[in-house]
Structure 1
Amino acid sequence: MYKLIERFAGAAGLLLIFGATSVAAGTLEEPTGPVLLTISGEIENTNGEGTAAFDLEMLRALGATEVTTDTIWTPGTITFTGVELKTLLEHVGATGTEIDATAINNYTVVVPVEDAVEDGPILAYEMDGRLMSRRDKGPLWLIYPYASNAAYRTEVIYSRSIWQLDRMAID
């Protein structure tokens, strides 16, 4: 049960009190480190002008998931660590049906929101326990669990596996 305490002007909306914790509806914490990812478009929760910006610690705070798989781009089997795409989209309150995922070099792919399922793709920030540099396809790489499901070993899925990801627009 919550009690409405105060209404204030601006994009933040309503200030609500849940027990002893106050929350501004739709507001995410601000990044304190370098921003690795910016999400815009059809999202409900932001920390900027219609955008949600994330640093590494904010991504880690969403919960780490590991995917151990081989890829067509790397030798051997690798353990990737990151946040599930499903969790990230839920966190920002994504309401669209498509993700325009864009890399640092402006390469863009379209990823259906329906790909964001439990035990599905992750936004990886570590490869074999090390942060990924730009040279290693980082700092963020959308990785599907290719080895665990034959449905993820298709040209369509490989084309969605964007590396050096830094922007997502939800449409």
Structure 2
Amino acid sequence: MRSAVFALMVLIGVAAAALPSAPSSAAGPLPQPSGAPLLTVDGAIDATNRDGKAVFDRAMLERLGMHALRTGTTWTDGVNTFEGVLARDVMAAVGARGDTVIAIAINDYRIDIPVSDFSDYDVLFALRMDGKDLTARDKGPLWIVYPRDDHAELQDGRRDHRWVWQLNALRVE
């Protein structure tokens, strides 16, 4: 009987070890950026890499996993393909603990965005549009893009102010 129980416990342990682990959110300090900083996140976060802030360069963002989204916008013609990192993946990487994100653009435009938007929708911090890197001349290097065409409620113009272009900072509150 004891050997059967022991064998069962070993089997359960082996099975548990074989299960894929969930990605850890902010399992420690973030690596240092090696390129030009594109995004700085501060506020209620657990993972940092520079003076209490999380600073990301392009490569760090891309390593979080790139996703594509096809949608129309108020500011461009037709349907465009955007590529970038999911906002919720950035929030997980920094261990965000707040309910609101203040998105801040290069020109100091600021808007409060509920963190729930990032779990409710596949919101991108877009780095590319139609196969081309976004630059400051065309709303980059980061543009907050919502999957507008996939959700009727996102087609309401009152949400357009959340599409921050030339994004360079987030504050989690």
Q: TM-score per shorter chain, which class?
A: 0.7 to 0.9
More strand by share: 1
Aligned 8 A contact 1:86 1:118 in 2: no
Whether 1:160 aligns to 2:154 is no
**AA paired with 1:48?**
R
Give 1:100 deviation, angstroms: 0.7
Structure 1 match to 2:147: 145
Structure 2 unaligned runs (5+)?
Answer: 1-25
Give 3-state SS (helix, strand or coil) of 1:46's partner: coil
Unaligned runs of 5+ in 1: 1-23
Secondary structure, in 3 states, of the residue corresponding to 1:80? Answer: strand
What is the TM-score normalised by the length of structure 2? 0.82
Q: Count the aligned residue pairs.
A: 148
Note the aligned Cα RMSD (angstroms): 1.3
In 2, the alpha carbon distance for the partners of 1:45 and 1:90 equals 9
Aligned partner of 1:126 in structure 2 is 128
Compute the TM-score of the two structures, normalised by the length of structure 1. Answer: 0.83
Partner amino acid, structure 2, of 1:149: H
Aligned to 1:53: 55
Greater shift in the superposed pair: 112-121 or 88-97: 112-121
Deviations 1:4-62 (A, max 9, x none): xxxxxxxxxxxxxxxxxxxx963000100000000000000010111000000000000
In structure 1, C-alpha distance between the alignment counterparts of 2:102 and 2:84, rounded to whole Å: 19
What amino acid sits opposite 1:139 in the alignment?
Answer: P
Task: Name the larger-Rg structure.
Answer: 2
Alignment-derived partner of residue 93 in structure 1: 95
Q: Which has the higher helix share?
A: 2
Q: Which runs of 4+ in 1 moved over 4 A?
A: none
AA aligned to 1:66 is: A
Q: Report deviation, 1:156.
A: 3.1
C-alpha separation in 1, matches of 2:27 and 2:98: 20
3-state SS of 2:60 partner: helix
Matched residues in 1 for 2:147 and 2:125: separation?
11
Structure 2 equivalent of residue 12 of structure 1: none
